[in-house]
Amino acid sequence: MSEPKVWSRFSAKAKDGTVLKFRIQAMTEDRKEDLMNLLMTYFVPEESMHKGLGIPKNPEAMAELLEIYKELWSVKPNQNLTICVSDDETETRSELFGASLIILDKREEKEKLHYEPISEVIKESIKIASCLSMKYNVFEKHDLNEFYDGRGVVVHPKCRGLGIAQEFLKVRRLVCKEHNVPMTGAWMTSFGTQKAAIRDNWETVFELNTEDFAKEVGVKFENVPPTFMFMIAKVE
């Protein structure tokens, strides 16, 4: 098996002063189980929509969501999935510290759902996500034919505050540049992703009042920013 593409190498200082080395690289098939564990343990329980709908406390919904993620996060031509691992050469197989997914969204193509949801709560989560996506038409606002749409960033709790999320956002720009895609954008619905995007000089082009959106979709959001932001990064 060929070595995965490495998009970035960087260092960060831990609270105890230790300098940690990381790299952002392309996802490989042998890390799929690690990725699923990371998603189901940290991403799903903290993601605004899933948490608001009570999915993390619903075993049936969690099992179904895992199947959806296995499909969604599979390697496909229009997707780019990157992971963060240790760049310490003494480690033969390091722990997975984070992951980021972007999908190439095209004006003339409607995304197909490859998994038919079963439970009502999963159907509702898809409906709410669709409602959010329709609040801002990227193609019309920016006169684009395609862009990389962000579908999630997750960082292991023990590595938060080390700049990993910001590095993932930086790498999204690099992916755009390599594939000649003019822009990447994403709904930033957490304090962490909003801060990371601001630090990486992403532009906020649309804000949605969280309380108003919660009333519209009938969900009680907890520990979320006052607004959900659609933020973009253009390739110069």
Domain segments of the chain as ranges:
6-234
Q: What is the pLDDT of residue 118?
A: 82
Backbone φ and ψ for 49, nearest 5 degrees, come out as -65, -45
Q: How confident is the model at residue 133 (pLDDT cuts 50, 70, 90)?
A: very high
Q: How confident is the model at residue 91 (pLDDT cuts 50, 70, 90)?
A: low
Give the pLDDT mean for 191-195.
96
Least reliable range by pLDDT among 119-133, 161-175, 177-191: 119-133
As a whole number, the mean pLDDT across the chain is: 91
Q: What is the pLDDT of residue 113?
A: 53
CA dist 7 and 102 (Å) reads 14
- Contact between 165 and 156 (Cβ < 8 Å): no
Q: How confident is the model at residue 117 (pLDDT cuts 50, 70, 90)?
A: confident
Q: What is the pLDDT of residue 150?
A: 96
- Contact between 136 and 205 (Cβ < 8 Å): yes
- Residue corresponding to tokens 């004006």: 107
Give the pLDDT mean for 60-66.
94
Spatial CA neighbour of 46 closest among 153, 142, 136: 153
- Residue corresponding to tokens 């990725």: 35
Let me know if domain 6-234 sits in CATH 3.20.20.60: no
Q: What is the pLDDT of residue 116?
A: 75
CA dist 162 and 216 (Å) reads 36
Model confidence, pTM: 0.93
Three-state SS at 5 = coil
Element spanning 19, H or E: strand 19-26
Q: What is the pLDDT of residue 115?
A: 63
